[in-house]
Amino acid sequence: MRDLIESALKGHNADYIEIRIEDTETTNISFRGRELDEIGHSAGKGGNVRVCVKGGWGFASFNDLDSIRSKVQQAISQARMVGNEKTELADVAPVVAIVPPHIISDPANVPLAEKHRIMEEYLDLLWGGPKIQTSSLRYADGHRRMFYGNSQGTYTEQSRIDVNFWASAITRNGGDIQQASISMGSLGDFGLVHRMQSEVAELPQKALDFLAAPQVQGGEYTVILDPVLAGVFVHEAFGHLSEADHVYENPKLREVMVLGRRFGGEHLNIVDGAKIPDLRGSFQYDEEGVEAQRTDLIHEGVLVGRLHSRETAAKMGETPSGNARAIGYQHPPIVRMTNTIIEPGEATLADLLEGVKEGVYCKNWYGGMTSMEQFTFSAGETYMIRDGRIAETVRPVMLSGNVFSTLENLDGVANDLEMNEGGGCGKGGQSPLPVSNGSPHIRLRKCLVGGA
């Protein structure tokens, strides 16, 4: 593969050329209710060429690997239609690296019959307890092998194995339908599917509790988030704003996001990095061949760094951070998060609860979105806090806020960091990208809660 890529890179007139070739293999099993709904084993092969000429980009993706040289020519002529400035890419020393995959327990070594049997055990857990209307249970594993070379002498071979697991219990009372769900993923560890029993077993009762639970009155509350939802919060409320591609060509936003700006109190520390090992967002080299880093984004409440591709780093005069990622060969790499973390503080959950007369405690996640200034994220479970104690269950809520005031209102960080490795991130039509996020319990004053 190296010969194919390196020979296709030679003899062209462009400022920068990169070629990526991938092959993928996926297995998925899904049940709806008690019945198997879908089982499949699929494969794929394809690649892309990305070219920069005078600051303009051309990109061509394909499945037919025989056409690779003509695709390089095509991408060059496309880039020429665009470029009329100077190509600026942050300097990176060329690397040649064959990276072994991160494997703890390889799903490829587990026969399909065994995967199927394990999922049937989870089905029994979902259906063996309190009476539910239906359920949804899914498993997927994927192996993606990536071969990358660029015209500056970098060549990498990397491989990643993703394992994903989802379960949901659905209850119903007339037209009222509720669900309780769990989503979990791992990088290279099939063992994940042996560790979900207690969480899955709790889902039916939770979904039944939601049916009986009232809706919270909408408005502003003191909100405490568990580590999983706080991870989603940091991803949505701050992570996306730290992606330099939103900022680098918008002069007003560059003023707002100037390094040194205070976002929160001294207890607030946020980092992102694929170099943090063994997580879903971990890797060795990004999709521009830049070595993974660990980037401090907020240190003691102050903005100190951001996430870059080679282009955004060059144009902002900052150091590349190894955050150019693509979900697959059909897409060009864009600036993405990897593993995003609020670092633990000193408090305990009890400290955060103390003195909260009426508030909302949210656990687990459903999803989240951001428009940079505003963000939303939704809880998998919600409870009222009354007189410093977690009290009755209410229907799961959606929370919303303004990033600038919300981080200022983040007034408590506990010491119990946990990582959330479920779900995936979507941006620019590329979803889901494997990321992780994590946090200890945190407390937000004056957080907007949607409700009745």
Partner 1 sequence: MLEEILAQALKQADQAEVYQVTSKSTPISFEANRLKSVDARDSTGVALRIIKDGRIGFSSTSDMSDMDGLVARAVEMLPFGAKASMEFSAESEYAAVPTFDQATADMKAEALVETGTKLIDQLHADWPDIVWSAGVSKSVSSTKLLNSRGCHAEEITSAIGIGMEGTLVKDTDMLFVWEGQSSCRPTLGTVAIIASIERKLHWAEQVAAAPTGQIPVIFTPGAVADLLLEPLLEGFNGRNIVQGSSPLIEKLGSLMVDPRITIWDDPTIPYIPGSGAFDGEGVSTNKLPLIQQGVIANFIYDLQTAGQAGTVSTGSAHRGLGSQPGPDTSVIVIAAGDTTFADMIAGYPKALVVESFLGAGQGNTLGGDFSANVLLGYAVENGVVVGRVKDTMIAGNVYNILKNLDALGSEMEWVEGSLRTPAISCTGVSISSKA
Q: Does 105 bind partner 1 (CB under 8 A)?
A: no
Instruction: Return the residues of window 246-305 that contact partner 1 according to CB under 8 A.
Output: 249-250, 252-253, 256
Closest separation between CB of residue 41 and partner 1, Å? Answer: 4
Report the C-alpha gap between 259 and 298 in whole angstroms.
Answer: 9
63 binds partner 1 (CB under 8 A): yes
As measured in angstroms, the least distance from the Cβ of 291 to partner 1 is: 25
- Provide, rounded to whole angstroms, the least separation between the CB of residue 285 and partner 1: 22
User: Which of 101, 130, 424, 450 touches partner 1 (CB under 8 A)?
Assistant: 450
What are the backbone dihedrals phi and psi of residue 204, each rounded to the nearest 5 degrees, phi first?
-60, -45
Instruction: Enumerate residues 331-350 that contact partner 1 by CB under 8 A.
Output: 332
Single residue of 4, 12, 56, 129 touching partner 1 by CB under 8 A = 56
CB of 415 to partner 1, least distance (A): 30
Which of 10, 37, 108, 358 is the binder for partner 1 (CB under 8 A)? Answer: 37
> Could you give the residue ranges of the DSSP H alpha helices within 344-393?
349-353
* Enclosing H/E stretch for 73: helix 68-82
Choices 39-47, 190-198, 336-344, 353-361 (CB under 8 A): range interacting with partner 1: 39-47
Q: Pick from 166, 198, 197, 194: which is nearest to 182 by CA?
A: 166
Let me know: does 310 contact 152? Beta carbons within 8 Å: no
**Structure tokens of 150?**
């660029």
Task: Give me 449's structure tokens.
Answer: 């809660």
Rule CB under 8 A: choose which of 4, 6, 32, 103 binds partner 1: 32
Residue 128 or residue 175: which is nearer to partner 1 going by CB?
175
**Half-sphere exposure in the Cβ direction for 433 (13 Å, CA):** 28
Using rule CB under 8 A, residue 233 touches partner 1: no
Residues with Cβ < 8 Å from 121, sequence gap 6 or more? none
Which residues are within 8 A (CB) of 125 and not within 5 positions of it... i.e. 6 or more apart? 197, 200, 201
Q: How far is the CB of 264 from partner 1 (least distance, A)?
A: 14
Q: How far is the CB of 200 from partner 1 (least distance, A)?
A: 18
Q: Is 355 helix (H, G, I), strand (E, B) or coil?
A: coil
State the Cα–Cα distance between residues 189 and 235, nearest whole angstrom. Answer: 23
Site for partner 1 in 173-232 (CB under 8 A): 174-179, 218-220
Q: How far is the CB of 418 from partner 1 (least distance, A)?
A: 22
Rounded to whole angstroms, how far apart are CA atoms 115 and 190?
10
- Residue 150: its H or E element: strand 134-150
Q: Which of 13, 43, 109, 198 binds partner 1 (CB under 8 A)?
A: 43
Using the rule CB under 8 A, which residue among 9, 16, 21, 23 binds partner 1? 23
- Collapse the DSSP code of 261 into the 3-class scheme (helix H, G, I; strand E, B; otherwise coil) and give the result: coil
78 binding partner 1? (CB under 8 A): yes
Q: Which stretch binds partner 1 (CB under 8 A): 7-15, 110-118, 268-276, 290-298?
A: 110-118
431 binds partner 1 (CB under 8 A): no
Interhelix angle 197-212/112-127, rounded to 10 degrees, is 30
Q: Is 109 in the site for partner 1 (CB under 8 A)?
A: no
Phi/psi-derived region of residue 396, left when phi > 0, alpha when psi is between -120 and 50, beta in every other case: beta
Give, as one character, the DSSP assignment of residue 65.
G
What letter does residue 277 receive in the DSSP assignment?
A: T
Give SS3 for 242: helix
316 vs 272: CA distance, rounded Å: 19
313 vs 398, beta carbon nearer partner 1: 398
Tell the smallest beta-carbon distance from residue 416 to partner 1 (Å). 26
Least Å distance between CB 109 and partner 1?
Answer: 16
Q: How far apart are the first and last CA of the chain?
A: 59
Total residues at interface with partner 1 (CB under 8 A): 82
Give, as ranges, the residues between 361 and 420 that touch partner 1 (CB under 8 A). Answer: 366-378, 396-398, 400-402, 404
If we measure between CA atoms, which residue out of 372, 367, 385, 375 comes closest to residue 441?
385
Among 8, 15, 59, 327, binds partner 1 (CB under 8 A): 59
Residue 79 engages partner 1 in binding (rule: CB under 8 A): yes
Give the shortest CB-379-to-partner 1 separation in angstroms: 9
Segment near partner 1 (CB under 8 A); pick from 62-70, 97-105, 156-164, 193-201: 62-70
Site for partner 1 in 112-171 (CB under 8 A): 112-113, 116, 133-134, 170
